[in-house]
Structure 1
């Protein structure tokens, strides 16, 4: 039997094309067949690298993380644990907002490399050196992480990409429709606008809660 030859298409090409296509069609429209068409190859060329869509999403999330860390200006030295969590969370949100459905791709995916370990190690070290036990440090970091993922998931449900607004989220129309519920009507301006400020306020609440819970 002749030896099996590697395809001309490499994994990075496929992942880069997938992330480009994601911004056009979103997660629901992203399929191995659509990516193969984008790359002008046959679908079996992709199955060489990915057995299914989840394996592709895992690699996409990993590449998103690589790009985030490459662009990050985070310097762990001298940062308080509060500033470390604030900066990591802000960097993650910024990275997710670069891609349509970025938070959905990232959530639940498994990193295929070990690049994330260095950043996580530094964050856990900052917290444990501040007096947190390791379980407490894990709870603190995951709470900030889950808040960020959840916030961006909801944000992208309204604004799939920065400057793009999904139909049906007109705040004035919503207020008129809910006029019999004045507080709920007025709250729309805070639920569905100014996501930057909403994220900062929510993150501040998370940090304050961690401080209160663990007395740090």
Structure 2
């Protein structure tokens, strides 16, 4: 029986969700697909190619909405879709960090993000830096959120209280962080 790239991608995501990135090897993937590891190389060049394909798949649910109206609303929506996509797959942040953003949908998303940042008023000279800050914030927040979610909400609340602070839900914290970034971009032209 032949396998497809789609089967490889979906099986890889299942392995990620079950066992994490450290257990996603070509050998493990081949075993799950019930093929020999060498057969995988007919479909993907190497582990880096696999990570690039996975990153593209992780980002697939992120859509590009019309942003001709309210740029702030579009930036919040874009960042929320990005966060949600990252939270659906275990170790998604690490997959994106270890992959190269050169696949079609990821490039389209980067270009859309840059257009939104420009529409927010960031100069062309600072647009790439602002987009990197925006991207890094979403990645870091989603990574922390996933870790704390695995830890447990009550344990997280207890740890925050132990530090003398009150826990705010993740949505509220995320929106606050995006607001701070946008205010900063607007303040520093």
Q: Which moved more, 1:10-19 or 1:46-55?
A: 46-55
Q: CA deviation at 1:171?
A: 4.2
With normalisation by structure 2, the TM-score equals 0.84
The reply on whether 1:63 has 2:41 as its aligned counterpart is no
The reply on whether 1:198 has 2:173 as its aligned counterpart is yes
Distance 1:84 1:138, change over 3 A: farther
Aligned partners of 2:185 and 2:127: how far apart in 1? 10
Q: CA deviation at 1:8?
A: 2.3
Q: CA deviation at 1:23?
A: 0.9
With normalisation by structure 1, the TM-score equals 0.75
Query: What does residue range 151-162 of structure 1 map to in structure 2 within 5 Å?
Result: 151-159=141-149
Query: What does residue range 129-140 of structure 1 map to in structure 2 within 5 Å?
Result: 131-140=121-130
The reply on whether 1:185 has 2:160 as its aligned counterpart is no
Choose between structure 1 and 2: higher helix proportion.
2
The reply on whether 1:75 has 2:60 as its aligned counterpart is no
In angstroms, what is the RMSD of aligned CA positions?
2.7
Aligned partners of 2:81 and 2:119: how far apart in 1? 22
Aligned partners of 1:13 and 1:79: how far apart in 2? 39
Aligned partners of 2:88 and 2:111: how far apart in 1? 25
Distance 1:126 1:151, change over 3 A: closer
Aligned partners of 1:136 and 1:173: how far apart in 2? 40
Unaligned runs of 5+ in 1: 1-6, 160-164, 176-182
Q: Is the Cα contact below 8 Å between 1:128 and 1:137 reproduced in 2?
A: yes
Q: Count the aligned residue pairs.
A: 189
Give 3-state SS (helix, strand or coil) of 2:134's partner. Answer: helix
Q: Is the Cα contact below 8 Å between 1:36 and 1:46 reproduced in 2?
A: yes
For residues 181-210 of structure 1, give each alpha carbon's deviation from its aligned partner in whole angstroms, at most 9, with x where no partner exists.
Answer: xx85323x53xx622211111111111111
State the match for 1:45 in structure 2.
Answer: 39
Distance 1:89 1:64, change over 3 A: same
State the match for 1:166 in structure 2.
Answer: 151
Q: Is the Cα contact below 8 Å between 1:59 and 1:112 reproduced in 2?
A: no
Deviation >6 Å, runs of 4+: none
